[in-house]
């Protein structure tokens, strides 16, 4: 099983990219799941600005969108990412460092933390 977290500059770019992955139908609608893959369309990721807003429900952190379009893609078997999409891969479960050690998924606030349950 392979997970890939894509970070596209726009929703339009994500549709084009996911079409190359075989995850968009002929009507340009995302295919959320098949027997071979599933994708979670995260969309724009909200990140805390550091400011706090007072609301009637109490203080809440001010959030701002990152302006990107995120997609979490899971394939049950090896699905190669086309070379043209490599620039949009924020993380992939098959990534390793120079010593062959797996690179863990980023856990910083600027990266969506959605996971498959």
Count how many Cα atoms sit within 13 Å of the Cα of residue 36 in the half-sphere of its side chain.
8
Judge whether 97 lies within some domain.
no
pTM: 0.87
Q: Confirm if 85 and 17 have CB atoms less than 8 A apart.
A: yes
Judge whether 83 lies within some domain.
yes
Judge whether 105 lies within some domain.
no
pLDDT, average across residues 103-111: 92
Judge whether 36 lies within some domain.
yes
Element holding 66 (H helix, E strand): none
Q: Report the distance separating Cα 20 and Cα 12, nearest Å.
A: 13
Q: What are 31-70's pLDDT values in tens digits?
A: 999 999 999 999 999 988 999 999 999 999 999 999 999 9
Q: What are 63-102's pLDDT values in tens digits?
A: 999 999 999 999 998 888 999 999 999 999 999 999 999 9
Domain enclosing residue 28, as ranges: 2-47+65-92
């Amino acid at each position: 099983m392979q997970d890939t977290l894509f970070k596209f500059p726009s929703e339009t770019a994500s549709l084009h990219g996911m079409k190359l992955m075989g995850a968009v139908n002929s009507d340009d609608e995302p295919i959320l799941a098949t027997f071979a893959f599933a994708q979670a369309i995260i969309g724009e990721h909200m990140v805390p600005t550091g400011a706090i807003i007072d609301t009637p429900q109490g203080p809440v952190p001010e959030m701002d969108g990152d302006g990107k379009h995120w997609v979490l893609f899971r394939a049950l078997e090896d699905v190669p990412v086309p070379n043209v999409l490599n620039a949009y891969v924020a993380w992939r479960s098959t990534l390793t460092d120079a010593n062959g050690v797996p690179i863990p998924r980023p856990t910083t606030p600027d990266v969506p933390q959605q996971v498959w349950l």
